[in-house]
Amino acid sequence: MKNETLDVLIVGAGAAGMMCAIEAGKRGRRVRVIDHARAPGEKIRISGGGRCNFTNLGTSGANFLSENPRFALSALKRFTQHDFLKMVERHGIAWHEKTLGQLFCDDSAKQIIRMLTDEMKAAGVTLSLGLGVTAISRSGDRFEVALDDGTRVSAASLVVATGGKSIPKMGATGWGYEVARQFGLRLTETRPALVPLTFEPTLLEQLVPLAGVAVDAIVKTAPNPASSSPKGDRPKEASFTEAMLFTHRGLSGPSILQISSYWREGEAITVNMAPSEDVAARMLAAKTENGKQAVHTALGHIIPRRLAEVICAREGLAGKLAEVGDKKLRAMAETVNAWTVKPVGSEGYRTAEVTLGGVDTAALDQQTMEAKTVPGLFFIGEVVDVTGWLGGYNFQWAWSSGWAAGQSC
C-alpha cells in the first residue's frame, strides 16, 4: 500500500475543483486533484453547445436559488465575473457576448479546460484521473482517504467538488452528499433543475404536431405557498422572457429551463406565447378589416402557423372570422397570451443541467466554504445548496466558490 501526505486533496476535477486547486497551489500548498472521469472538466466541455457559457456579465445574488440566497454573495463579490474574464483574456481566449450578458468562447470550451489545467500545472498541482475514493476517515486533525488504486492519502484539507446528480451518463453521482452525511452536515432537498418539463399523455397527444415549434414567451409560475420552504428560498412568483420550444415530451427552451427551478409538481405555469401582442385586439381588428379570412390564418400572422392551427382546433374554432363571436375570439386570445398548463413532471436528472439543493449553506462558512463543525472539510460548486439561473451563472458560482476555498484550504 502506498502512502501519500498532502496539504489538500480535492475530489472532483470540474470547474470548482480546478479553480480551488489553482488558488491553493499558488499559496504553496501541496495539492492533488482526483476524479473518476478519464478527462477533466467534462461538464465544461459539453456546455454551451461545446463553446462554454463560462460566465454572465450580470451576475448578482438575485440570479441564485438557495435556502439562504445571501450565502453566495461573499464569494461572488470577492471573485467576480470580471476577475474570471481577465483570466480568460490573459490566456488569449477569444470570446463573445450572446443575449442577456452570456459570455461564450469563440472557438471551443476545450480552451477553458486547457486554461485551467495549464494554471494547475503552473501552480504545482497534481491531477490524477480515472481514480476514485473508497473510504474517508478523520484522524486527529487530518483526513485519511483510501483511493481505489490502493493509495492511502493523509490530507490536512479535504475539498468536495463532485457536483450534483445531473447528467449521470457523464458519471454524476450523489457522492458529495454522502460525504456531507458522514460528517453530520444537513442536506436540503435535491431535485433536477434547468430541465425540460413534461405533460400527461392526453395533453401530449393534442400537442404532438407542435414538436419542434419555437416561440418567444413569457413563462411564469406562482408557487403554492404551502409548498414553499419556510425559509423562503422561492419567491412567490418567478417570470422569464426567453424562447420556448414544444417537444415530443412537453416543453423546453431557455424560458422553460429557467422556470423549472421554481416549479413544483402539482403547480401550473402560465405562458404568454405572443409577449409583444394583444392578441384579442389584433384578432378583433382583423375581423373588422377582413372577416372572410380563416381564423387560423389570422392567428397565424401573430404566432407560428402550426401553433395557430392547433390552438384553433383545440378551441373548436373553424371557418371565417366573421362567423366567430367576439367572446370566443377573446377566449382564444387568452389561450395565446395566458395559457395556463400543469406539467406532470420533468425529464429528470438525465437531461437536467444542474441539481437544485445540496449541502446546507448554514453548515458552511460563507467566506471559506469550510464546514463549521469539521475543520479542514470544504464543499464547493454544485454540491452546495446554491443554484444559478441558466446563462453562465452556475459556472460563475463554481469559479467564485472554488476561489474562496482556495484561499484557505
> What is the chain's pLDDT, residue by residue, as a tens digit (409 residues)?
799 999 999 999 999 999 999 999 999 999 999 999 999 999 999 999 999 999 999 999 999 999 999 999 999 999 999 999 999 999 999 999 999 999 999 999 999 999 999 999 999 999 999 999 999 999 999 999 999 999 999 999 999 999 999 999 889 999 999 999 999 999 999 999 999 999 999 999 999 999 999 999 999 996 555 444 434 445 568 999 999 999 999 999 999 999 999 999 999 999 999 999 999 999 999 999 999 999 999 999 999 999 999 999 999 999 999 999 999 999 999 999 999 999 999 999 999 999 999 999 999 999 999 999 999 999 999 999 999 999 999 999 999 999 999 999 9
Dist CA 151 CA 145 (whole Å):
8
pLDDT at position 224, please?
55
Residue type, 110: K
pTM, full prediction? 0.95
Which one, of 54, 7, 8, 14, lies nearest residue 383 by Cα?
14
* Domains in the chain: boundaries: 3-190+356-406, 196-347
Cα torsion 122, 124, 130, 133: sign? negative
φ, ψ (nearest 5 deg) of residue 93 = -90, 120
φ, ψ (nearest 5 deg) of residue 18 = -70, -40
Dist CA 7 CA 322 (whole Å):
79
Spell out a b/e string for 42-80, using b for 16 or more CB atoms within 10 Å of the CB, else e: bbbbebbeebbbbbbeebeeebbbbbbbebbebbbeebb
pLDDT at position 1, please?
75
Three-state secondary structure call for residue 6: strand
Contact 190, 382 (CB under 8 A): no
The crossing angle, in degrees rounded to 10, of helices 326-337 and 305-315 is 130
pLDDT at position 16, please?
98
The CATH classification number of 3-190+356-406 equals 3.50.50.60
φ, ψ (nearest 5 deg) of residue 55 = -165, 180
Dist CA 382 CA 230 (whole Å):
22
Q: What separation in angstroms does the CA of 251 have from each of 63, 233, 304?
A: 22, 25, 16
CA dihedral of residues 107, 112, 113, 114 (deg, nearest 10): 80
Residue type, 173: T
Domain range 196-347, its CATH number among 3.30.70.890, 3.40.50.2300, 1.10.357.10, 2.40.30.10: 2.40.30.10
